[in-house]
């Protein structure tokens, strides 16, 4: 059977690429870590990959706002044939491919217009701005998957414990029409909650003040997913500070909860190949 292939970007301050590649490999896929410039120069092509990944980090030091500079590169820099990287991603999605962005990667996707993309024209409709606390939040939180799950990454996911590591994670929506579309079409894929699954409305369970308590967005196709928490940082039960009790509750299972997202998408791609 043909292997599922993941392209994991790095460079310009991205720094979570190794953990993200490890997540796909543990899920049974192949993963290549590629510098952004290799894609831009045409030495690496997106064609042939199943999942394009934007890891966390601090692209361009977040000097224009988190993810904005790299989003501009994707929108405006031209490949040798005159196409942009956004054109390449549009073709990737039209061919059934997936895109994942985590933390800074999520910020890149919203500022490129890939999320939530309710208008279908890659115009920026939401943003991620400075947390209400005004500080960098580096701790564990809980997220609840919305039902039904539009994204295959979140199949059969209920409440997840995941770490957050961000200062600009507050989702804000451009206008009431976009907000209504997100709600009506089920595009708010994960919402911050407490350990029991009750939606968080106050700090610290809501770490950033995001509208709709939103921790993740998907697009209308379900094939683009962006989230602020880091599933690639919870691949083993031993990543969690309360690992002993969690391992006992899981009957000795040593997998971290974040690994489920990657197993889900790899299995989905395998099952649905022609």
What backbone torsions phi and psi does residue 250 show, to the nearest 5 degrees?
-90, 10
207, 230 contact by CB (below 8 A):
no
Distance between CA atoms of residues 29 and 139, nearest Å:
29
Distance between CA atoms of residues 272 and 258, nearest Å:
22
248 part of the active site: no
Distance between CA atoms of residues 60 and 65, nearest Å:
9
Query: What angle is formed at CA 1 by the lines to CA 35 and CA 9, rounded to 5 degrees?
Result: 10
Considering 166, 230, 240, 268, which one is annotated as catalytic? 230
Considering 19, 125, 137, 232, which one is annotated as catalytic? 232
In sequence order, the β-bridge partners of residue 39 are none
268 part of the active site: no
165, 183 contact by CB (below 8 A):
no
Residues in the chain, overall count = 274
Token pair in block for residue 1: 């059977």
Considering 103, 141, 193, 214, which one is annotated as catalytic? 103
DSSP category for residue 49: -
110, 127 contact by CB (below 8 A):
yes
Catalytic amino acids?
A: 103, 230, 232
């Amino acid at each position: 059977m043909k292997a599922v292939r993941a392209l994991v970007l790095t460079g310009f301050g991205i720094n979570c690429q190794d953990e993200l590649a490890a997540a796909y490999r543990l899920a049974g896929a192949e993963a290549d870590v590629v510098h952004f410039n290799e894609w831009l120069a045409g030495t690496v092509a997106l064609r042939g990959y199943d999942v394009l990944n934007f890891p966390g980090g601090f692209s361009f030091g977040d000097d224009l706002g988190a993810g904005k500079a790299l989003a501009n590169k994707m929108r405006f820099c031209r490949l040798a044939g005159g196409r942009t990287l956004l054109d390449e991603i549009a073709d990737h999605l039209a061919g059934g491919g997936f895109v994942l962005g985590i933390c800074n990667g999520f910020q890149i996707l919203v500022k490129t217009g890939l999320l939530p993309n309710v208008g279908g024209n890659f115009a920026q409709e939401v943003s991620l701005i400075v947390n209400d606390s005004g500080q960098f939040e580096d701790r564990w939180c809980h997220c609840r998957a919305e039902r039904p799950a539009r994204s295959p990454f979140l199949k059969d996911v209920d409440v997840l414990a995941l770490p957050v590591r961000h200062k600009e994670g507050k989702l804000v929506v451009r206008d009431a029409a976009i907000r209504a579309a997100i709600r009506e079409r089920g595009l708010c894929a994960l919402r911050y909650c407490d350990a029991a699954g009750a939606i968080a409305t106050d700090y610290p369970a809501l770490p950033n003040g995001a509208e709709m308590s939103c921790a993740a967005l998907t697009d209308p196709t379900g094939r683009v997913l962006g989230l602020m928490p880091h599933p690639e940082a919870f691949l083993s039960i031993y990543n969690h500070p309360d690992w002993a009790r969690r391992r006992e509750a899981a009957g000795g299972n040593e997998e971290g909860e974040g690994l489920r997202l990657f197993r889900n998408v790899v299995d989905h791609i395998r099952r649905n190949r022609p």
